Structure 1
Amino acid sequence: MSHAQVLLDRVLDYAEDIVAGKITACKKHKWSAKRFLRDFENLENEEGKYYFDIDELENFHEWAKLFKHTKGVLTGQPIELVDFQLFIGANLFCFKRKANGRRRFNKAYIQLARKNAKTQFLAIISTYVAFLSEEQDECYIAGWSREQSSICYEEVLSQIRACDLLRNKFSDSYGKVKHYKTGSVIQPLSREARKTGDGKNPSLGVVDEYHAHETREIYDVLVSGTVARANALMVIITTAGFDLATPCFEEYEYLSKVLDPDNDAENDEYFAIICELDPEDDIKDEENWIKANPIVASYEEGIESLRQELKIALDMPNKMRAFLTKNMNRWVDQKDNAYMDMGKWRKCAGIMPELSGLKVYCGFDLSATMDLTSVGFDIPIDRVHHVFGHSFLPEERLREKMAIEKQPYDIWRDRGFVTATPGEVVNYHMVEEYILRKLDELNPSDVEICHDRWNAAHLAQSLMNRGLTVVEIPQIPKHLALPTKNFLESVFDKRVVHDDNPVVNWAVGNAVTHEDHQGNMMLSKKVSKNKIDPIAAIINAHARAMHDENNIDLNAYLTSSEFSF
Structure 2
Amino acid sequence: MRKANVFVADEVGALRNRYPIDAMQSSQMNMVNRTGILISTAYESLNNPMTEEVEYAQKVLDDLIDDPTLFALLYKPDDPKDWLSDKSLIEANPLAEVLEDNLEYLKKQRRTALDMPSSKKNFLTKHMNIFVDGDDSEVYIPSDELKKNMITTYDWTGREVFVGVDLSQTTDNTAVSMVTYDHDKDEYVAQSWAFIPEDSAENKSKVEKVDYFTMRDNGYCYFCGDKVISHRFVENFVLDLERKYGVIIKGIGYDRWNCVASANRWYEEGYDTIEIKQHSSVLHPATKLVKERVLKGSFKYLQNRLLEINFSNAREVKDSNLNTYVNKKKSTGKVDMVISILNAMALWNKEVEENLTSNFEERELIIL
Tell me the TM-score normalized by structure 2: 0.73
| Distance 1:503-1:536 versus aligned 2 partners, 3 A rule | same
Is the aligned partner of 1:141 residue 2:8? yes
Q: Deviations over 1:8-45 (max 9, x none)?
A: xxxxxxxxxxxxxxxxxxxxxxxxxxxxxxxxxxxxxx
Post-superposition Cα deviations, 1:268-306, rounded to whole Å, max 9, x if no partner, equal: x99999989999xx98669x9778756444344323223
Structure 2 CA distance for partners of 1:352 and 1:327, relative to 1, 3 Å: farther
**Runs of 5+ consecutive residues of structure 2 not aligned to the other structure:** 43-48, 363-368
> What is the match of residue 246 of structure 2?
443
Provide the aligned C-alpha RMSD in A.
4.5
Aligned counterparts, 1:77-476, within 5 A = 138-142=5-9, 145=12, 190-191=21-22, 193-202=24-33, 204-208=35-39, 213-214=50-51, 246-253=55-62, 295-312=95-112, 336-338=136-138, 340-342=140-142, 343-382=144-183, 383-476=186-279
Work out which of the two has the higher radius of gyration on C-alpha atoms and give 1 or 2. Answer: 1
Contact 2:77 2:128 in 1 (8 A): yes
What SS class does the counterpart of residue 190 from structure 2 fall into?
strand
Residue 508 of structure 1 pairs with residue 317 of structure 2 = no
The code of the aligned residue for 1:370 comes to: T
Q: CA deviation at 1:329?
A: 8.6
CA distance in structure 2 between the aligned counterparts of 1:457 and 1:271, rounded to whole angstroms: 46
Aligned partner of 1:167 in structure 2 is: none
Which one-letter code corresponds to 1:138 in the other structure?
Answer: N
Aligned residue pairs: how many? 342
Deviation at 1:540, TM superposition (A): 0.9
Asked whether the equivalents of residues 514 and 522 of structure 1 are also in contact (C-alpha less than 8 Å), the reply is: yes
Q: SS of 1:355's equivalent?
A: coil
SS of the equivalent of 1:455 reads coil
Counterparts in 2 of 1:558 and 1:348: CA distance versus 1, 3 Å: farther
Give the conservation status (yes or no) of the 8 Å contact 2:140–2:316. Answer: no
CA distance in 2, matches of 1:424, 1:406: 20
Residues 289 and 361 (structure 1), Cα distance of their counterparts in 2 relative to 1, 3 Å cut: closer
* Distance in 1 between residues matched to 2:138 and 2:78, nearest whole Å: 24
Q: Does the CA contact (< 8 Å) of 2:163 and 2:249 recur in 1?
A: no
1:99 maps to none
Moved more, 533-542 or 467-476: 467-476
| Aligned-partner Cα distance in 1 for 2:353–2:94 | 54
Q: Is the 8 A contact 1:350 1:497 kept in 2?
A: yes
Query: 1:121 maps to what in 2?
Result: none
Does 1 or 2 have the higher relative contact order (CA < 8 Å, sep 6+)?
A: 2
Paired residues of 1:374 and 1:537 also in contact (CA < 8 A): yes
Gaps of 5+ in 1: 1-135, 149-188, 217-240, 255-266, 560-565
Match of 1:533 among 336, 359, 365: 336
Identity across matched positions, percent: 23
Match of 1:95 in 2: none
Distance 2:324 2:13 in 1: 36
Distance 2:95 2:285 in 1: 48
Amino acid at match of 2:196: L
| Contact 2:75 2:129 (8 Å CA) reproduced | yes
TM, length-normalised to structure 1: 0.50
State the 1:377 CA deviation.
1.4
> Is contact 1:143-1:210 (8 Å) kept?
no
Residue 397 of structure 1 deviates from its aligned partner by 1.9
CA distance in 2, matches of 1:146, 1:285: 25
Q: Tell me if the contact between 1:145 and 1:191 (Cα under 8 Å) persists in the aligned partners.
A: no
